[in-house]
Structure 1
Amino acid sequence: MQWRWPASRSEGFGFSGWSVRRIGRQARRVGFTGLLCLAGLPAAAPGEDGWTAESLFEQVTELAAARSKSAFEPPVSGLPEALRDISYDQYRAIRFRPEQALWRGETRFEVQFFHPGFLFPYPVRLNTLESGVISPIAFRQDLFRYDAEAAALEGKGEGGNGFAGFRLHYPLNTDGHKDEVMVFLGASYFRLVGPGQVYGLSTRGLAIDTASPEGEEFPAFREFWLVRPGPEADRVTILALLDSPSVSGAYRFDLTAGEEVAVDVEKYLFARTDVGKLGVAPLTSMYHFGATSERSYDDFRPRVHDSEGLQVLTGAGEWIWRPLANPRAVRGTSLRDRDPGGFGLVQRNREFADYLDMEAEYHRRPSQWVTPMGGDWGAGGVELVEIPAPDETIDNIVAFWVGDRPFSAGERRHYRYRLTVFDDTPPGDPPARVVRTRSGWGAVPGAADPPPRSLRRYIVDFAGGALEGLGPDAAVGVQLDTSAGRLDDVHVRRLPDGEGWRATFLLDPAGGRAADLRLLLTLDGAPVTETWNHVWYPDEL
């Protein structure tokens, strides 16, 4: 069978003025987060056994559908006066009391809550579903410690009607300690972490008009229902209601914790208005600089990033690796596909020596993979947005799926997918992979008449898979293509340690045009590696 490049290439667009700022090292983008005033659900459903997770999800879906048929109601804070203007120092001095955790000592999971106020002025409502009965979780100040600067708030904030968010704990690393495994806090953001990892990239329930000139809309989870798990269960169900000016939605999250952490997500979305760009299964991360950076950084650390590449498994079975960048201008590209096999943001380098950062521990940041499992995926593209960031406090990377079919007012969409947390190898059976990407000026040292700086030398190293154990005379070849410019001096050789193979080439760009590069290695003419994909922009020099 003849191997062919995909029929379509990356499509670019431009935008300015959008950024995501962090609270300390924890990335947060605060949109509308608040209380959705519902008519309310009865404590028990019709029938002898009351509510189940399934019947409740059906009801939440009906609530989302009904809400989409009426005008958007902006959230109302409802915070007591003493909690409305909490300062940063006061907020960080408020601590949840672990002994007050929901389900403590009763299940392997327990839940702790975040205090409302500061950047979270619109509390979300939390409920439990236990033994068929729905019960609200009331905000109480005695759930928290008010230390140092926050001491003046103690006893002055009763009457609140919700929390900023919550986090689930589970014995991930040792049986004797329950670690954080999943956190919901701010807009539709949530985070996952696996064994031996620390928090890094974020996930979102939905992205609307990301990197659009009109500006981004941030949907928010308004209410949650926590379904009590069995005493020894490693799986817990969370239901959520999402709302925004354009979309309302019902979500079901089935979290499985243990040696592998994964969340099965099912959601029904209802368009209140026409949506310009509907971003499904969004992942948000940070890339400041690394091995692929063309600019120098005055920093003792060789790399600073939560994720270093976008990986995509196409519907046709092609694995694509796209190194991330911290660009000079906002970049947006779309990898066109139909019914994708999966995509994710990956932190491949897992050794401390790769980063030398003892505080941020970037070598322990999680990677995350999205596996579509059903619903309205169809034709579209995995969209990657890269935003200029002056430092590591900015989350400047976003990746999500955008379907070709417009999401118009009155329509419904249904999606099912799995979110899997991993270190460096995603689910599935990926082929030999890229282990190194470097580029630089393509001049020969000491040349009397050197070429322009735009002449670029690239090296891309691959290892693993079918490349393992090959001798230096193996029939390893290169397939290389560019959308613009001229390619020259293309070679492939085994690395000196025998642990991989290097492809190298020169790119002579065509004036001011960006060059979309794709490269893979073959063995006896058949592809045996993932496809390396990189876009060179002339203004990056």
Structure 2
Amino acid sequence: MDRRDFLTSSLAAAAALGLGVAPAAAQDAPIPEVPARRPEPQEQPAAFSFAGLKDEARKMAAAAWNDPGADVPQRFRDLSFDQYRDIRWKRDRMIWRDDRVGFRLEPMAAGSVYNRAVRIYLVEGGQALPIGADRDSFDWGASIKAPEEVVAMPLSGLKLRRPGDNNRNPEFAVFQGASYFKALARGLQYGLTARGLAINTADPEGEIFPVFTRFYVEKPEENAQSIRLYGLLESRPVVGAYRFTLRPGDETSIDVELTLFPREEMSHIGLGALNTMFLYGGIGRSRFDDVRQAVHLSDGLAVQTGQGERLWRPTANPKNLQISAFGDENPLGFGLVQRARDFTDYLDLDNRWDLRPTAWVEPVGDWGKGSVVLVEIPSDGEIHENIVAYWRPKAKLPAGQEFSAAYRLRWLADGSLPASLGWVDDTREGQGAEGNWRRWMIDFVGPMPAPAQVKLVATASAGKLVAPTLKPNPVTGGYRVTFDLDPRNAPLSELRVQLTDGTKPVSETWLYRWVA
């Protein structure tokens, strides 16, 4: 399965499950007041620790890779999306349903495109107890008939919920499919997706999708504000041990700690990998005859470099595969951001793109030299996650030498972070004054000096910028920059715009690659 097929099928399955477009009310459905019951485990408890998981990963990496492939029974792999979404873990069997630990755990069935079984363990007192599931662990909807016999049911992932008022348990995170996971902050809906690890993304020889094959979920303390889970990641070139600490709220954060054990030399990995969708917005609008103003989960890549410079690169839906790399050393942060937050930016009642989260990666410790990579894949539909961003270390990972990293992944509504300078509120592209010229209109908002102190610095790597203009925007209280690009037969041009006070930046740096 290649990248496009994998992302298409996975996103379609997510939509069928209600992960992407379900309204908040659907996520917060009341749970019936019935006694809870856990499924009977099929194995005995065993000692567990993060150190022990890393030891096991190290031993596995020393052995040859044995790919189990699609190990879910055929009867479940053959399910349609509609049938799969009709298999739901019973609300009265929610893990920790009757415990005052502040969280609920909901296992998810395997089937359809989720064709690899995942083992899930509950950890309490240093002991890991496997979750077992059978036919009676699930509710079976109208589109699918439950098996007549009480068959064992494979699992594919898990949802985490936070108890609320009126017996509601809104979910805030999902781990399911390959190394994918996603989260949301209070009041938002699911949007872009994170990955435990990206390998060889957009390389000609093909991308590798590692898989979380096990999850260990620690039972929280009473009235806990955070929950911790662990993952074992497997693939041909590498085995990994992960620890995730999740804190839901108005901003949901996930602390990620990982140790990788390469079986072979790895020259292209992606840390803090994020996947999103951009069909059109202020850029690319003319290609789509659609009643909606914009369709995207994220409208730009934000970077805070190790030197403190802030970059903003609007996302695009290119005609051909496009890869951009922003070289850096010890980056302070990067993320895929949804800045357009008004309903009128989209006019989409069904998908509410204005309620999708921003995801911001903050490295813990020094990540050394490397680059933030942005991959933009041509797309003709909103079901495709066609944008990928991640940190690519410059140094190769030698075979047999373990590698550790940590970062905080923040899911939030604020698209301006970090907001110590002015930021780009909107980017528009259209026809310029001449036939092959292109015009840009960029609005900056945020904390910036008075007009007399602000200067425009705009450059193009090829072609010529025509009539670059800076003026106050009385509607937003910020500044508007406009210019035309005369490409002069250049196949592409790297554009750069920044506002300064003559000595230092007063805004983030706007970047864009125009392609003929």
TM-score, length-normalised on structure 2? 0.90
Amino acid paired to 2:117: P
Could you list the per-position Cα deviations for residues 107-157 of structure 1 after superposition, in whole angstroms to 9, with x for gaps in the alignment? Answer: 210011111121122210011111222111112221101122312x33446
Confirm or deny: 8 A CA contact 2:445 2:478 kept in the other structure.
yes
Shift of 1:510: 4.1
Residue in structure 1 matching 2:103, options 109, 120, 129: 109
Determine helix, strand or coil for the equivalent of 1:164.
strand
1:447 matched to which residue of 2? none
Residue in structure 1 matching 2:264, options 270, 273, 276: 273
Confirm or deny: 8 A CA contact 2:244 2:254 kept in the other structure.
yes
1:296 matched to which residue of 2? 287
1:99 matched to which residue of 2? 92
Could you list the per-position Cα deviations for residues 168-190 of structure 1 after superposition, in whole angstroms to 9, with x for gaps in the alignment? Answer: 00147x57422111101100000
Shift of 1:430: 3.6
Tell me if 1:222 matches 2:213: yes
Determine helix, strand or coil for the equivalent of 1:479.
strand
1:322-333 alignment runs, 5 A limit: 322-333=313-324
Shift of 1:275: 2.2
Confirm or deny: 8 A CA contact 1:367 1:422 kept in the other structure.
yes
1:3 matched to which residue of 2? none
Confirm or deny: 8 A CA contact 1:288 1:389 kept in the other structure.
yes
Q: Which moved more, 1:101-110 or 1:524-533?
A: 524-533
Aligned length in residues: 488
2:400 matched to which residue of 1? 410
- State the alpha-carbon separation in 2 of the partners of residues 355 and 306 from structure 1: 11
Shift of 1:16: 9.8
1:530 matched to which residue of 2? 508
Residue in structure 1 matching 2:7, options 15, 20, 40: 20
2:64 matched to which residue of 1? 71
Q: Which moved more, 1:397-406 or 1:83-92?
A: 83-92
Question: Are residues 510 and 165 of structure 1, via their aligned partners in 2, closer, same or farther at CA, if it must alter by over 3 Å?
Answer: same
Question: Are residues 145 and 345 of structure 1, via their aligned partners in 2, closer, same or farther at CA, if it must alter by over 3 Å?
Answer: same
Shift of 1:95: 1.9
Determine helix, strand or coil for the equivalent of 2:162.
strand
Of all paired residues, the percent bearing the same amino acid is 37
Tell me if 1:258 matches 2:249: yes
Gaps of 5+ in 1: 1-14, 29-39, 46-50, 444-450
Shift of 1:391: 1.0
Shift of 1:92: 2.1
1:378-527 alignment runs, 5 A limit: 378-425=368-415, 427-443=417-433, 451-453=434-436, 455-467=437-449, 470=450, 474-497=452-475, 499-527=477-505
Question: Are residues 150 and 514 of structure 1, via their aligned partners in 2, closer, same or farther at CA, if it must alter by over 3 Å?
Answer: same
Confirm or deny: 8 A CA contact 2:232 2:240 kept in the other structure.
yes
Could you list the per-position Cα deviations for residues 392-423 of structure 1 after superposition, in whole angstroms to 9, with x for gaps in the alignment? Answer: 01110000000111123222211100000111
Confirm or deny: 8 A CA contact 1:168 1:182 kept in the other structure.
yes
TM-score, length-normalised on structure 1? 0.86
Amino acid paired to 2:369: A
Q: Which moved more, 1:427-436 or 1:73-82?
A: 73-82
Determine helix, strand or coil for the equivalent of 1:99.
helix
- State the alpha-carbon separation in 2 of the partners of residues 27 and 249 from structure 1: 30
Determine helix, strand or coil for the equivalent of 1:224.
strand
- State the alpha-carbon separation in 2 of the partners of residues 60 and 41 from structure 1: 18
Determine helix, strand or coil for the equivalent of 2:143.
helix
2:158 matched to which residue of 1? 166
Shift of 1:104: 0.8
Confirm or deny: 8 A CA contact 1:27 1:395 kept in the other structure.
no
Confirm or deny: 8 A CA contact 1:146 1:154 kept in the other structure.
no
Amino acid paired to 1:117: G
Amino acid paired to 2:444: F
Confirm or deny: 8 A CA contact 2:429 2:440 kept in the other structure.
yes
Tell me if 1:124 matches 2:118: yes
Amino acid paired to 1:437: T
1:12 matched to which residue of 2? none
1:11 matched to which residue of 2? none
Question: Are residues 129 and 418 of structure 1, via their aligned partners in 2, closer, same or farther at CA, if it must alter by over 3 Å?
Answer: same
- State the alpha-carbon separation in 2 of the partners of residues 16 and 81 from structure 1: 23
1:189 matched to which residue of 2? 180
Could you list the per-position Cα deviations for residues 342-389 of structure 1 after superposition, in whole angstroms to 9, with x for gaps in the alignment? Answer: 0001111111111111111111001110000026x2101000000011
Shift of 1:246: 1.0
Amino acid paired to 1:477: K
Question: Are residues 77 and 20 of structure 1, via their aligned partners in 2, closer, same or farther at CA, if it must alter by over 3 Å?
Answer: closer
- State the alpha-carbon separation in 1 of the partners of residues 222 and 371 from structure 2: 42
Shift of 1:524: 4.7
Determine helix, strand or coil for the equivalent of 1:149.
coil
Determine helix, strand or coil for the equivalent of 2:349.
coil
Question: Are residues 159 and 27 of structure 1, via their aligned partners in 2, closer, same or farther at CA, if it must alter by over 3 Å?
Answer: closer
- State the alpha-carbon separation in 1 of the partners of residues 266 and 230 from structure 2: 24
Q: Which moved more, 1:430-439 or 1:224-233?
A: 430-439
Confirm or deny: 8 A CA contact 2:462 2:490 kept in the other structure.
no
- State the alpha-carbon separation in 2 of the partners of residues 207 and 138 from structure 1: 30
2:231 matched to which residue of 1? 240
Confirm or deny: 8 A CA contact 2:238 2:260 kept in the other structure.
yes
Determine helix, strand or coil for the equivalent of 2:114.
coil
Confirm or deny: 8 A CA contact 1:371 1:418 kept in the other structure.
yes
Q: Relative contact order (C-alpha < 8 Å, sep 6+): which is higher?
A: 1
Determine helix, strand or coil for the equivalent of 1:65.
helix
1:37 matched to which residue of 2? none
Confirm or deny: 8 A CA contact 1:81 1:157 kept in the other structure.
no
Gaps of 5+ in 2: 18-41
2:24 matched to which residue of 1? none
- State the alpha-carbon separation in 2 of the partners of residues 299 and 24 from structure 1: 24
Shift of 1:84: 4.4
Amino acid paired to 1:170: R
Question: Are residues 77 and 398 of structure 1, via their aligned partners in 2, closer, same or farther at CA, if it must alter by over 3 Å?
Answer: closer
Question: Are residues 230 and 421 of structure 1, via their aligned partners in 2, closer, same or farther at CA, if it must alter by over 3 Å?
Answer: same
Question: Are residues 380 and 509 of structure 1, via their aligned partners in 2, closer, same or farther at CA, if it must alter by over 3 Å?
Answer: same
Could you list the per-position Cα deviations for residues 296-335 of structure 1 after superposition, in whole angstroms to 9, with x for gaps in the alignment? Answer: 3211100000000000000000111110111111100001
Confirm or deny: 8 A CA contact 2:267 2:395 kept in the other structure.
no
- State the alpha-carbon separation in 1 of the partners of residues 196 and 388 from structure 2: 13
Shift of 1:17: 6.7
1:209 matched to which residue of 2? 200
- State the alpha-carbon separation in 1 of the partners of residues 3 and 139 from structure 2: 41
Confirm or deny: 8 A CA contact 1:27 1:202 kept in the other structure.
no
- State the alpha-carbon separation in 1 of the partners of residues 288 and 112 from structure 2: 34
Please give the root-mean-square deviation of Cα atoms over the aligned residues, in Å: 2.3
Amino acid paired to 2:485: L
Amino acid paired to 2:370: G
Residue in structure 2 matching 1:310, options 291, 301, 304: 301
2:191 matched to which residue of 1? 200
- State the alpha-carbon separation in 2 of the partners of residues 129 and 137 from structure 1: 10
Question: Are residues 356 and 135 of structure 1, via their aligned partners in 2, closer, same or farther at CA, if it must alter by over 3 Å?
Answer: same
Could you list the per-position Cα deviations for residues 63-116 of structure 1 after superposition, in whole angstroms to 9, with x for gaps in the alignment? Answer: 111111111111255545643432333212212211101111212100111111
Amino acid paired to 1:462: F
